[in-house]
Amino acid sequence: MPELTLIEAINLALARAMQEDANVVVLGEDVGINGGVFRATVGLQQRFGAERVIDTPLAELLISGLCVGMAAQGLKPVGEIQFMGFIYPCIDQLVNHASRLRNRTQGRLSCPMVLRTPHGGGIRAPEHHSESTEAMLAHIPGLRVVMPSSPERAYGLLLASIRDPDPVVFLEPTRIYRAAKGQVEDNGEALPLDIAFVLRQGHDVTLISWGAVVKETLAAAAELAGQGIEAEVIDLATLKPYDEETVLASVTKTGRCVIVHEAARTGGFGAEIAALIAERGLTSLLAPVARVTGYDTIMPLPRLEQRYIPSVPRIVAATRKACEFA
């Protein structure tokens, strides 16, 4: 089995999906001959032609609107938004159309589209290139929001997203596009979209995370193990709809929970998980639920971005505090 980076796994899944289903088309800015600014679509236009791998004009609203129209006609469009900071012109199409087309037509039309976009900071990119606003997308009924944190899950979850009959926003952790490497077999097997992944078993505390910061969360868990704390690490992977059972089962077992996400704290998706635990897991809690998140500030420019993104020491400190709470 070849070892691939996360971005290569995405490319592999796209190629696989296009190979197995002629209805799959890829569209976005620079996705053609250039292969995308991160090279996610490299080689696809050469292999599948310019009619199925479309270099669109520089218009994000258009990309999302085209996807809705194509999907209603039975194509399976995979749109690329170059950076998450540029996804906002698509919100109208996602909220008012993609997510509700099936419901408002009572099943007469549907919208099997995927909108991919890089997510998060840490690559020393210019302003507006490092956002993590997944919570606002996860708030939209009718949508699926998926975020892999490893090459294997990127491959399997992207295949699942493309095959899914409903609209999916697929958020890709930019910071680990090339840093994350793993064995990926091109077997065409999708991973389920409604399952969280338990990456590490532990009985002392539950760490819940998603996206690039899963890396720091795992590193923190390894460090904590050296201090005698066995953390269970969950990669939520699908934020909408998310796997409540896996979260609750783990918290029931450990009694302590730390949620780690890169996005700003207030109204972040961690708040939803904390509310779930308060509603349905309160009696198992031995300590208050803690959150390690980005700050309630604008995502800073690169000189300070590492201070914004949750670090291993911050996660370790918060987890120790949760474990020491009596």
Give the number of residues in contact with other proteins, rule: CB under 8 A. Answer: 47
Cα–Cα distance between 117 and 16 in angstroms, integer? 19
Contact criterion met (CB below 8 Å) for 243 and 197: no
Closest distance of CB 190 from other proteins, Å: 15
Give me the phi and psi of 55, to 5 degrees please: -80, 105
129: annotated active-site residue: yes
Q: Does 70 bind other proteins (CB under 8 A)?
A: yes
Q: Does 19 bind other proteins (CB under 8 A)?
A: no
Nearest alpha carbon to residue 206 among 248, 243, 147, 245: 248
Contact criterion met (CB below 8 Å) for 24 and 76: yes
Sketch the per residue contact string, 160 through 199, with other proteins: x for CB under 8 A, - otherwise. Answer: ----xxx---------------------------x-----
Contact criterion met (CB below 8 Å) for 284 and 189: no
Q: Does 107 bind other proteins (CB under 8 A)?
A: yes
Phi-psi region of 230 (alpha: psi -120 to 50; beta: other; left: phi over 0): beta
For other proteins, the closer of residues 106 and 283 by Cβ is 106
Closest distance of CB 168 from other proteins, Å: 11
Segment near other proteins (CB under 8 A); pick from 105-113, 206-214, 267-275, 314-322: 105-113
DSSP summary character for residue 82:
S
Strands 197-200 vs 231-235: parallel, antiparallel or unpaired: antiparallel
Choosing from 105, 201, 227, 297, the residue that interacts with other proteins (CB under 8 A) is 105
| Cα→Cα distances 149→68, 184, 203, 227, Å | 27, 13, 23, 26
Closest distance of CB 279 from other proteins, Å: 11
Active-site residue (options: 119, 129, 203, 261): 129
Segment near other proteins (CB under 8 A); pick from 28-36, 124-132, 140-148, 203-211: 140-148
Choosing from 37, 39, 88, 110, the residue that interacts with other proteins (CB under 8 A) is 110
Nearest alpha carbon to residue 233 among 223, 155, 241: 223
Segment near other proteins (CB under 8 A); pick from 9-17, 58-66, 207-215, 289-297: 58-66
Strands 290-294 vs 257-264: parallel, antiparallel or unpaired: parallel
Q: Does 301 bind other proteins (CB under 8 A)?
A: no
Contact criterion met (CB below 8 Å) for 277 and 251: yes
Q: Taking CB under 8 A as the criterion, which residues in 82-101 touch other proteins?
A: 89, 92-93, 96-97
Q: Which amino acid is at 308?
A: Y
What are the residue numbers of the active site? 129
Contacts with other proteins, residue ranges (CB under 8 A): 25, 51-52, 54, 56-57, 59, 61-62, 64-75, 77, 89, 92-93, 96-97, 102-110, 141-142, 144, 164-166, 194, 241-244
